[in-house]
């Protein structure tokens, strides 16, 4: 597994990371703890050194699982976690990035992860009630205290990235990005490139859709958040099948799987991008890691680009309540 630097920050990680959210949250029942630990440790064996979690995943449960799993090799990996939500009765209840709350969240994350320092601390969503300068300043203080190494932002727009970066350099932006959601290319890539900030795409496999394993007959668990996403409505799944067909066609040409093509395409876009696909299955993890060996030539990328211009993706990536928390 090759390494990549996230922009000019100096933070170096494996060219594919592991998004750990789905082990505890979002895609149905939580994976049994020992099985989740086994998967994270297998990822490390395969060369992954970048693990992504957040206090909201569970809530709290995912950080505990990640902390236990990485304990044997803590000094060889980079752990990213996030703050930014209130909780009432153990459930998320709105945004909160007030400085005192950030400090409280960080203390909780340090305990659950069983670490002395958080390698990469993201603001999970922009809190419109708190000036971004106050957020960046608080993280800057936490870095000075040795509790955090690097500052990141998630689903942030260019203006807030600039304002935050002026106070405390931003190492990485995390946002959704894949063959079926390319908005960051125009909305944030120019700013990231100019400021030397890395990019960490979540849902690089389109929340599973680009693997080709989801179709009109797929039934989602009641705890699976995809059942509320417009893009996964039955009529939209039918309409969006054209994209999956394209990815499958390229995969056959390259003797790869659709998931590997989707990940290889992302890694071919910019040298400062590190996707974090997630999975609950070890054989899928191994398949995803195989993407590191898939090389798309300039000709392949042109072919994909040309084909993509003929495909209209139908349906939004978020339900309205989640979209409201995305910083435009």
- Would you name the residues annotated as active-site residues? 57
Residue 255, judged by CB atoms within 10 A of its CB (0-12, 13-18, 19+), counts as exposed
Distance CA 62, CA 273 (A): 24
Distance CA 177, CA 217 (A): 25
Give the other-Cβ count within 10 Å of 185's Cβ.
Answer: 12
Give the other-Cβ count within 10 Å of 253's Cβ.
Answer: 11
């Amino acid at each position: 597994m090759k390494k990549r630097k996230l922009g000019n920050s100096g933070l170096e990680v494996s060219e594919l990371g592991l998004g750990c959210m789905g082990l505890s949250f979002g895609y149905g029942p939580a994976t049994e703890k020992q099985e989740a630990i086994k998967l994270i440790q297998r990822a490390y064996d395969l060369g992954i050194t970048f693990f992504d979690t957040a206090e909201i995943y569970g809530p709290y449960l995912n950080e505990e699982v990640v902390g236990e799993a990485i304990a044997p090799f803590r000094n060889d990996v980079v752990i990213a976690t996030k703050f930014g939500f209130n909780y009432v009765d153990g459930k998320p209840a709105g945004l909160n990035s007030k400085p005192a709350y950030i400090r409280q969240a960080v203390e909780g994350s340090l305990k659950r992860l069983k670490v002395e320092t958080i390698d990469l601390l993201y603001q999970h969503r922009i809190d419109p009630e708190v000036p971004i300068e106050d957020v960046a300043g608080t993280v800057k203080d936490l870095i000075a205290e040795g509790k955090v190494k690097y500052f990141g932002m998630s689903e942030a727009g260019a203006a807030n990235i600039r304002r935050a970066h002026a106070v405390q350099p931003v190492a990485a932006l995390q946002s959704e990005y894949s063959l079926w959601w390319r908005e960051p290319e125009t909305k944030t890539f120019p700013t990231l490139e100019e400021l030397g900030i890395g990019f960490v795409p979540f849902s690089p496999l389109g929340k599973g859709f680009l693997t080709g394993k989801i179709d009109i007959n797929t039934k989602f668990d009641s705890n699976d958040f995809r059942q509320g996403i417009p893009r996964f409505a039955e009529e939209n799944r039918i309409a969006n099948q054209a994209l999956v067909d394209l990815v499958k066609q390229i995969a056959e040409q390259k003797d790869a799987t659709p998931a590997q093509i989707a990940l290889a395409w992302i890694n071919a876009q910019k040298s400062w991008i590190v996707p974090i696909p997630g999975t609950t299955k070890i054989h899928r993890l191994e398949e995803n890691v195989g993407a590191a060996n898939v090389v798309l030539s300039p000709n392949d990328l042109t072919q994909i680009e040309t084909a993509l211009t003929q495909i209209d993706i139908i349906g939004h990536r978020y339900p309205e309540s989640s979209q409201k928390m995305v910083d435009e």
